[in-house]
Amino acid sequence: MLWGPPLAACYLTGGWRSARDGVAALRARSLDVDLLMVVAALGAAAIGQAFDGGLLIVIFATSAALEGWATARTADSVRGLLDLTPSRAVRVAPGHGEEIVEVDDLAVGDVIVVRPGERVPADGVVAAGASETDQATVTGESLPAPTGVGDEVYAATVNGSGLLRVTVSREASGSVVARIAAQVEEASSTTAPTQRSIERIEQRYSVVVVTATVVLFVAPLLSGELLVDALLRAMTFMIVASPCALVLATMPPLLAAIATASRHGVLVRSAEVMERLASTTVVVVDKTGTLTTGAPEITAVHGAPGWSRDDVLALAAAVESGSEHPLAGAILAAVPEAALATPTGFRAVPGTGASASVRGVEVVIGRPDRVLADRGDDESDDGWARRAVAEAEALGDTVVAVVADGRTVGVVVLSDHPRPSAVRAVARLRSLVGRAPVLLTGDQPQAARRVADAVDIAQAHAGMLPEDKVAAIDDLRRVGDVVLAVGDGVNDAPALAAADVGIAVSHRGSSPDTAVTLRSADVVIVGDDLDAVPATLALARRAHRLVRANLVAAAAVVVGLVMWDVVGHLPLPLGVAGHEGSTILVALNGLRLLRRSAWPADTCRETGGLQR
């Protein structure tokens, strides 16, 4: 009698939520694991095993609390970044004074002051000053990045020793940190295919468990076994056969991997994407801006008779002022802003070039094989241009032809160089996937081959329009490959969307000119870090291994305990401890990916000894 009130309180406090959820599921004509646990506890109490039933309630409630804690920990680990963003900022007032305002009141275009040691209150571009910023909270980069005029800085990052004036480029709700938090919260609400399969099976499996429990209770009674013994065996079976651990085997590792990736500047859209990423069998990569720096330099300018270098560049720069292509930056950098004309009627054709009207002249710039061929110039008119193009392309350089009112007036030669991390990233991808990446580029064959050789890629396809890249990806998928596509530009958006998983390497966070690419991608790398591609793939593979290990362990425990109860005599307390203990261990095993060491900063551990 002394144990009556405490046990009653235990049943009420620990079991009411499970009973409520179970009844709600029953009304929806489905059986829930929560209801099975409550029925088993009440059955144990009915045959005088109230303490064992109470133990079941306590452990089951504890495992449910751990499940909730695991989910909350996954999201909170990233949403906590928002707490690092200052609530106030120092804004430059119209009269060049300073005023303290709420960060939420900052508007795009405002100029704010960030003093040494302070956290940057909003995303923006440095307008004045020089310093270094610790961007670990956003990009995961452990070393401070040199920061000067024109560089982008992110909210929640830490300014170093210099004074900065920053022009706000995004409102607080649209900052990179806010996007990371929102992305993780959205991803946490998704369900992986494996989890959906388990949940579909769970409904039928629960009916089987209830049916088997009834049979296991009635059959011994008909053979003369005591009511108490038959009911005790049946209740023990219902407990140990419930698929609690199997239900928790999948999502904790995947959600923990999403949270860990986001802390290093990698946004994964869903648990389904993380699971598909782990199954990658081939990687296709873009060249310009992905494997290369995306910052080509002009090495030569050839003009038609009567056209100087400055004349050719002025026309090309006027058209490129409306373009987002990496080549545009190099051309614009070579022309003083005061000499830059304003174009009208700008039109970009991805993979070909662009056109616009400049001071009444119709100017077309782009790939020589398309621009020159489309114009149909006579050999006598543009023979010099074709020779210059042939010489440059033979060296693997990139060439842009400039055509004014149907006449070729210039050829601009540019060179792009592989990123310092490209060789390392390609080697890691090869080790992870088991085959070298495939290079797909719209550039000339010689330029593609030069970069492919530099980063040790054997298979390179050049001269590809966006639709050609999509066709190549479709061909790979038709033969059974799971394709991971990596790119950065607008012309990569169709390929990223066509692949099983698309990764966008974002040079400028969420700037408007990359919005199309970022929307098409399943994974976005905020920090422009090519090493993050193999690191994310290695993390997804590790999460997948944990999921499989959890499923095997959970199934083994269920089968073992069920067989023990059916062919032998499994004590109820031991069945409760084994079943609920496995549930707790499975959940905690998945949470291991929340540790800082889970991010494969050096994937030699994941790729069998590859060194930097």
Q: Which two tokens stand for residue 144?
A: 């401070």
pTM: 0.67
112 and 139 share a domain? yes
Is 318 a member of any domain? yes
19 φ, ψ to 5°? Answer: -65, -40
Q: Would you place residue 143 in the very low, low, confident or very high pLDDT band (cuts 50, 70, 90)? A: low
Q: Which residues of 411-442 are buried (b: 16+ CB within 10 A; e: fewer)?
A: bbbbbbbbbebbebbbbbbbbbbeebbbbbbb
The domain that holds 446 is classified in CATH as: 3.40.50.1000
Residue 171: exposure state from Cβ atoms within 10 A (0-12, 13-18, ≥19): middle
The domain that holds 100 is classified in CATH as: 2.70.150.10
pLDDT digits (tens, 9 = 90+) for 190-226: 566 776 676 677 667 777 877 888 888 888 888 878 8
193 and 60 share a domain? yes
59 and 97 share a domain? no
What residues make up the domain containing 337? 297-415
- Count CB neighbours of 401 within 10 A: 28
125 φ, ψ to 5°? Answer: -120, 135
Which domain-ending residue is among 415, 450, 485?
A: 415
Contacts of 538 (CB under 8 A, 6+ apart): 428, 432, 600, 603, 606, 607
Cα angle for residues 45, 47, 50 (degrees, 5° grid)? 25
| Helices 368-375 & 379-394 angle (0-180, nearest 10) | 170
Task: Determine the pLDDT at residue 481.
Answer: 93
pLDDT digits (tens, 9 = 90+) for 261-319: 888 888 888 888 899 999 999 999 988 778 888 677 888 999 888 889 988 999 989 98
Contacts of 515 (CB under 8 A, 6+ apart): none
Task: Determine the pLDDT at residue 98.
Answer: 86
CB 101 within 8 A of CB 94: no
155 φ, ψ to 5°? Answer: -60, 145
R_g of the chain, CA atoms, integer Å: 31
- Residue 418 DSSP symbol: B
The domain that holds 319 is classified in CATH as: 3.40.1110.10
pLDDT > 90 in the chain, percent: 16
Q: Does the pLDDT value for residue 150 go beyond 50?
A: yes
Mean local confidence (pLDDT), 506-520:
51
Task: Determine the pLDDT at residue 376.
Answer: 46
Contacts of 161 (CB under 8 A, 6+ apart): 116, 131, 132
Can you tell me which residue has the tokens 């601009």? 412
168 and 192 share a domain? no
Q: How far apart are the C-alpha atoms of 601 and 612, rounded to whole Å?
A: 10
CB 490 within 8 A of CB 324: yes
The better pLDDT of the pair 291, 139 is held by 291
Active site (catalytic) residues: 286
Is 11 a member of any domain? yes
Task: Determine the pLDDT at residue 377.
Answer: 47
456 and 428 share a domain? yes
Is 535 a member of any domain? no
Give the sign of the dihedral formed by CA 377, CA 300, CA 443, CA 493: negative
Least confident range from 61-70, 422-431, 457-466: namely: 61-70
Task: Determine the pLDDT at residue 542.
Answer: 94
Instruction: Find the length of the chain.
Output: 612
Q: Does the pLDDT value for residue 141 go beyond 60?
A: no
429 and 515 share a domain? yes
pLDDT digits (tens, 9 = 90+) for 430-457: 999 999 999 998 777 888 888 899 999 9
Q: Does the pLDDT value for residue 575 go beyond 60?
A: yes
Q: Which two tokens stand for residue 577?
A: 């401890």
Mean local confidence (pLDDT), 227-241:
80
Task: Determine the pLDDT at residue 31.
Answer: 62
Task: Determine the pLDDT at residue 509.
Answer: 44
Least confident range from 380-384, 407-411, 513-517: namely: 513-517
Q: How far apart are the C-alpha atoms of 28 and 177, rounded to whole Å?
A: 40
Q: How far apart are the C-alpha atoms of 542 and 258, rounded to whole Å?
A: 12
Is 259 a member of any domain? no
pLDDT digits (tens, 9 = 90+) for 3-39: 567 766 776 666 666 666 666 666 666 666 666 677 7
Alpha helices in 291-444 (DSSP H): 309-320, 326-333, 368-375, 379-394, 422-433
CB 106 within 8 A of CB 121: yes
pLDDT digits (tens, 9 = 90+) for 84-110: 678 889 998 877 688 889 988 899 899
Q: Does the pLDDT value for residue 378 go beyond 50?
A: no
Mean pLDDT of the chain: 79
pLDDT digits (tens, 9 = 90+) for 175-186: 777 766 665 566
305 and 408 share a domain? yes
Q: How far apart are the C-alpha atoms of 149 and 165, rounded to whole Å?
A: 9
Task: Determine the pLDDT at residue 299.
Answer: 85
Q: Would you place residue 609 in the very low, low, confident or very high pLDDT band (cuts 50, 70, 90)? A: very low
494 and 453 share a domain? yes
Q: Does the pLDDT value for residue 475 go beyond 90?
A: yes
192 φ, ψ to 5°? Answer: -75, 155
Q: Does the pLDDT value for residue 585 go beyond 70?
A: yes
425 and 399 share a domain? no
For 352, what's the count of Cα atoms within 13 Å in the CB-facing half-sphere? 12
Mean local confidence (pLDDT), 405-434:
90
CB 42 within 8 A of CB 53: yes
Task: Determine the pLDDT at residue 246.
Answer: 78
Task: Determine the pLDDT at residue 507.
Answer: 59
Is 260 a member of any domain? no
523 and 565 share a domain? no
Task: Determine the pLDDT at residue 426.
Answer: 95
13 and 71 share a domain? yes
Task: Determine the pLDDT at residue 52.
Answer: 67
Which domain-ending residue is among 395, 415, 435?
A: 415
Is 350 a member of any domain? yes
Task: Determine the pLDDT at residue 433.
Answer: 94
Is 10 a member of any domain? yes
Which domain-ending residue is among 380, 415, 450?
A: 415
Mean local confidence (pLDDT), 502-506:
84
Is 181 a member of any domain? no
Count up the domains in the chain and report the number: 4
192 and 71 share a domain? yes
CB 385 within 8 A of CB 304: yes
Task: Determine the pLDDT at residue 425.
Answer: 93
Q: How far apart are the C-alpha atoms of 410 and 582, rounded to whole Å?
A: 72
Can you tell me which residue has the tokens 């707490």? 83
Residue 440's identity, in one-letter code, is L
